[in-house]
Structure 1
Amino acid sequence: MDGPTSKSKTNDKIVSSLSIYETVKDSHEYMIKGFSAAKGIGVGKYTESRRFTVGGHDWVIHFYPAGETKATEEYVSLYLNIVSPIEVRATYEFKLLDQSEKGKHGVHKVSSRTFNTAEINRTWGYAEYMKRSELENSRYLKDDCLTIQCTIGIVQTRDETVQTDRVEDEKPYVILVPQSDMCKNLKGLLESEIGSDITFHVGNETFRAHKSILAARSPVFRAQFFGLVGNPDMETVAVKEFEPFAFTDVIALQSYDVMHAMLLFLYSDELPEPRELSDSDSLCSSTMLMQHLLDAADRYDLARLKLMCEAKLCEEITTDTVATTLALAEQHQCLQLKTFCVNFAAKPENLRGKCCV
């Protein structure tokens, strides 16, 4: 529930103050086993729940199985007691839980009080909560067991101050801010090659890029271009083949595709899709790309890209790719990926129809 607001005007600003009232609710269940024995403790004697916390304040429940006073000895009495040394305004509700499993909880009692431990009486509740004879024949008592649920709502207040620019008509307005398109702009910069100052030779192919962006994204490129033994005037780089291990029964990806995929990540911080590199969109080509790209990520110290490749390989694992993926995980110390591959291979259903060499 929101409270009142007030405003004060300055030459250029409007300062608003706001009081907000909120209710924090939580429940505690107090179970009494052996009710027939408990009622023998006598009039004015109570059992006490363990201390519990609601809204940052400590509470206990007092239950009088033989009544609080001589005048109420035919009833069970029920009270809520605050333990924390503070004043607090709260609502509280008692109800007995239905032991017949029909969910018809009953004997609801709801009150709103200000609890204060500085007062002599810091306990509030009901001297005549329920007649004991009715309780003993009700669905709330089963196997000599009784469960009391107490729900407490703490009223809390917080103040906020908001400062806004003053407009002539003093009406609120909203300016819609579009989502960031920096990723799109940087990828466009890579594709257009505008301002590029470094050329990568990958086999018979070339890529143009920007040393500053690459250095900001990769510690390896930063050392290569601007480190103590780096060369900021470098204009070309020959990239070795991305062949982390030998594939069987498949055609290895071109190193050109792997370099292209890594550059797209460096400029966008996103995992590129295989269709961004070629027309093929098969699971096989996707898995192969992730395998080679993981090798590149490890080589250029791209921790985020490496983890993204690991996660993608886990999603795409099959009986045909688990062996090569496990070898790759072992080679590049990818412990999570290695564990996943071992667990996958250990399942009999995943090895059905396969034979060990």
Structure 2
Amino acid sequence: MGTTRVCGEVSSGSSKSLSQSLTVSTSTTETVNGVHEFKICGYSLAKGVGVGKYVASDTFMIGGYSWAIYFYPDGKSPEDNSSYVSLFIALASEGADVRALFELTLVDQSGNGKHKVHSHFGRALESGPYTLKYRGSMWGYKRFFRRSSLESSDYLKENSLLVRCRVGVVKSVTEGPRCYNIPVPVSNLGQQLGNLLESGKGCDVIFQVDEETFNAHKLVLATRSPVFKAQLFGPLGNPNTKCITIEDMEAPIFKDCLFTDVPSGIFSWGATPVLEFTHPG
């Protein structure tokens, strides 16, 4: 089996400069986005765990990296004296300089849609996406929400909070001329024609040999044998021939010749004299 190598290339210039060519590549940068919801049940029991202590979501995959949400019921910083709850998104898998856009939402559970949202998405970024340097790096807010206001708001329902986190991991892909290795199978045309002949599909001529009949295809016969080409499609031939009688040949030998895959130039159908044609009508 051979292999053909095909490369994409754009020609440039007139016919006088055929040796010149132009290749093109394109870099596309976009975000791979995903959303994770984290429900925090039993808020009143989590409260009082201590400053810097957190409850964490299960890890989730976005853009090929693992992430986790960290909620601090008593805040992350001692200087805030537990006046605020803190909320962060953290890189939970190994990675270096992972660039991403983030959005943290505290969901309004009253159904009024007045969510508290902190987002990178949909706004101009002077310094570009945020970069997380290593596993455990975080983005978020130490003073996400004042705790006294939270506990009297519609964000807290049946002692539960619902946090929605959206992450957009920045990915860059460069595409240029592509090369393809295309395997070229060894030709088995002879076998395929033999299978077609044996199936009887599309046969348009019959050979009568020693009281046996054999179906065949006129075009195949004419392609393989100049004698049959002349007899079937030549100036003196008749393309409407439906039956050909062959004498002085035994049926098994003729069948062998008809079905054997012999290289072109060694065997020529029609070498045996055709003594009688049967025409329609």
| 1:127 paired to 2:110 | no
Match for residue 114 of structure 1 among 116, 128, 131: 131
Q: Structure 1: where are the runs of 5+ without partners? A: 1-6, 164-214, 236-357
Query: Which amino acid in the other structure matches residue 100 of structure 2?
Result: A
Name the counterpart of 1:76.
Answer: 85
Tell me the TM-score normalised to structure 2 length.
0.54
Query: Which amino acid in the other structure matches residue 80 of structure 1?
Result: I
Name the counterpart of 1:93.
Answer: 103
Inter-partner Cα distance in structure 2 for 1:36 and 1:83: 27
Corresponding residue SS for 1:231 = strand
**Pair 141,230 (structure 1): closer, same or farther in 2 beyond 3 Å:** farther
Inter-partner Cα distance in structure 2 for 1:37 and 1:91: 32
| 1:44 paired to 2:20 | no
Normalized per residue, the structure richer in helix is 1
Deviations 1:215-248 (A, max 9, x none): 99xx898523599x9934379xxxxxxxxxxxxx
Inter-partner Cα distance in structure 1 for 2:160 and 2:150: 11
Deviations 1:117-138 (A, max 9, x none): 26xx612211111100111111
Sequence identity, in percent?
A: 37
Inter-partner Cα distance in structure 2 for 1:46 and 1:74: 15
Query: Which amino acid in the other structure matches residue 48 of structure 1?
Result: A
Inter-partner Cα distance in structure 2 for 1:34 and 1:230: 90
Inter-partner Cα distance in structure 2 for 1:161 and 1:65: 51
| 1:223 paired to 2:199 | yes
Match for residue 147 of structure 1 among 123, 143, 162: 162
Normalized per residue, the structure richer in strand is 2
Inter-partner Cα distance in structure 2 for 1:222 and 1:140: 78
CA positional deviation for 1:116: 2.2
Name the counterpart of 2:262.
Answer: none
Deviations 1:245-300 (A, max 9, x none): xxxxxxxxxxxxxxxxxxxxxxxxxxxxxxxxxxxxxxxxxxxxxxxxxxxxxxxx
**Pair 35,11 (structure 1): closer, same or farther in 2 beyond 3 Å:** same
Q: Structure 2: where are the runs of 5+ without partners? A: 1-9, 13-17, 122-128, 179-191, 204-211, 219-281
Query: Which amino acid in the other structure matches residue 84 of structure 1?
Result: S
**Pair 50,226 (structure 1): closer, same or farther in 2 beyond 3 Å:** same
CA positional deviation for 1:76: 0.3
Inter-partner Cα distance in structure 1 for 2:143 and 2:77: 10
Bigger Rg, structure 1 or 2? 2
Corresponding residue pairs, total: 173
> What is the correspondence of 1:102-251 to structure 2 with a 5 Å cutoff?
102-110=112-120, 112-117=129-134, 122-162=137-177, 223-224=199-200, 231-233=214-216
**Pair 93,222 (structure 1): closer, same or farther in 2 beyond 3 Å:** farther
**Pair 109,158 (structure 1): closer, same or farther in 2 beyond 3 Å:** closer
CA positional deviation for 1:149: 0.5
**Pair 233,98 (structure 1): closer, same or farther in 2 beyond 3 Å:** same
Query: Which amino acid in the other structure matches residue 140 of structure 1?
Result: Y
Corresponding residue SS for 1:104 = coil
**Pair 8,136 (structure 1): closer, same or farther in 2 beyond 3 Å:** farther
CA positional deviation for 1:155: 0.7
**Pair 38,8 (structure 1): closer, same or farther in 2 beyond 3 Å:** farther
Inter-partner Cα distance in structure 1 for 2:51 and 2:62: 30
Q: Which has the higher contact order (CA 8 A, sep 6+)?
A: 2
Match for residue 33 of structure 2 among 25, 30, 33: 25
Corresponding residue SS for 1:45 = coil
Contact 2:39 2:161 in 1 (8 A): yes
Inter-partner Cα distance in structure 2 for 1:93 and 1:58: 16
Inter-partner Cα distance in structure 2 for 1:37 and 1:133: 16
Inter-partner Cα distance in structure 2 for 1:123 and 1:222: 72
CA positional deviation for 1:17: 1.7
Inter-partner Cα distance in structure 2 for 1:233 and 1:86: 68
Corresponding residue SS for 1:158 = strand
Name the counterpart of 1:64.
Answer: 72
Contact 2:31 2:168 in 1 (8 A): yes
